[in-house]
Amino acid sequence: MGGAERVGPWRWAGIALALVLALFPFLVLALNSVRPAGEFLSPGAGLLPAQPTLEHYRAVLGGDGETWRFLLNSVVVTAAATALAVALGAPAAYALARWRLPFRLSLVIGLSFLVVRFYPKIAVAIPFYLLMRDWGLLDTHLAVILAHASLALPLVVWILLGFFEEIPREIELSAMLDGCGAWLRFRRVVLPLSLPALGAAAILTAILSWNEFLLASTVAAGEARTLPVRIAGFITDKGTQWGPMSAMGTVIVLPVALFALLAQRWLARGLTAGAVKG
């Protein structure tokens, strides 16, 4: 279907409108990142910078190398949080998908995973801060990693739960009779079959962690700051440094955009996998 369908003018207009809505902020961001500092406050400035400059990039990426440290923080946190969330979420989802717990506990647990997605993050920010303080983890990578993993875990469980439930039961029964206990079945049969879903869960977790600001800024406002937290630091009591802020904003968006582009096919497959028998 769709191959021969003509795209009419209204549809083009709709697509264009959606694209503008979605991409215009990025355009402004990118343009601002090459706008000379003096232009920001001049009333006559247009959308396009009159004299594009790379001075902000030089300031942000060069100099004391501070940005690279925050970038490294972000990379470490994203990688570890993703690994942790998937490593914990996959067995949890498998257990929920396959083990019949008494009193409909599977449903209760599954729903509670969903509910934690609904309440505002700010509600857990303060308790999280206190917890990390008590554990002596404030301003460490581990604190941010734990925060992001806990945010992403429900998402991971829900994506994988749906996928695991779609794996034909007989394949697992077959593995059972082949001598596999639950763990071997999970590792040798279920996980290899679930790579698309695992990939989708990992990509979404990574993007969530890479972008997350609130919890990261609550538990790690100093040395362990991630890039989004650092960006907020450009808003100072002496005014906002629009140029460097935009430059860093562009830097932070690029890897995610690239990642999403590369992973797009995989993501789509993972999110709809099992919908139709292949």
Partner 1 sequence: MASVTLEGIGKRFGAVRALEPVDLEVADGEFLALLGPSGCGKTTTLNIVAGLEAPSEGRLLIGGEDMTRVPAPARDLAMVFQSYALYPHMTVEGNLGFALEVRRLPREEIARRVRRAAEALDLVPLLGRYPKALSGGQRQRVALGRALVREPRAFLLDEPLSNLDAVLRLQMRGEIATLFRGLGATALYVTHDQAEAMTMADRIAVFRAGRLQQVGAPLAIYRAPANAFVAGFVGAPPMSFAAATLAEDAVVLEGGARLPRPSGLAVRAGARVTLGLRPEDLRLDEGGLVLPVERVEHLGGAQIAHLRAGGARLTLLAPPDAALAPGRSARVAVAARDLYLFDPETGGTLAAPGLGPLGPALRGHPCPSPTVSAS
Binding site for partner 1 (CB under 8 A): 168, 170-171, 173-181, 184, 188-189, 192-193
Nearer CB in complex with partner 1: 185/230: 185
Q: Which two tokens mark 118?
A: 């609904």
Rounded to the nearest whole angstrom, what is the least distance from the CB of residue 28 to partner 1 in the complex?
46
* Nearest residue (CB) to partner 1, 63 versus 168: 168
Chain centre distance of CA 257: 11
Q: How far is the CB of 179 from partner 1 (least distance, A)?
A: 5
Q: Which is nearer to partner 1, 95 or 116 (CB)?
A: 95
Burial class (CB in 10 A: 0-12, 13-18, 19+), 212: buried
* Closest of 232, 223, 83 to residue 146, by C-alpha: 83
Q: Least distance (Å) from partner 1 to the CB of residue 123? A: 42
Report yes or no: 190 and 167 within 8 Å, Cβ to Cβ: yes
Let me know: does 28 contact 42? Beta carbons within 8 Å: no
Select 133 or 188, whichever has its Cβ closest to partner 1: 188
Q: Which residues contact 144 (CB under 8 A, 6 or more apart)?
A: 73, 77, 81, 215, 216, 219, 220, 224, 226
Using the minimum distance from each CB to partner 1, give the nearer residue, 134 or 170: 170
Among candidate residues 264, 122, 128, the one with its CA nearest the CA of residue 204: 264
- Nearest approach, Cβ of residue 37 and partner 1 (Å): 56
Question: Smallest distance, Å, CB 274 to partner 1?
Answer: 12
Taking residue 93's Cβ as centre, other Cβ atoms within 10 Å add up to 28
β-bridge partners, 35: none
Closest approach of Cβ 177 to partner 1, in Å?
5
What would you measure as the largest C-alpha separation in the chain, in angstroms? 76
Phi, psi of 236 (to 5 degrees): -120, 175
Report the residue number, 94 or 158, with the smaller CB distance to partner 1.
Answer: 94
The distance of closest approach from Cβ of residue 1 to partner 1 in the complex, given in angstroms and rounded to an integer, is 24
193 CB-near residues (< 8 Å, 6+ apart): 167, 171
Residue number, 112 or 174, with CB nearest to partner 1: 174
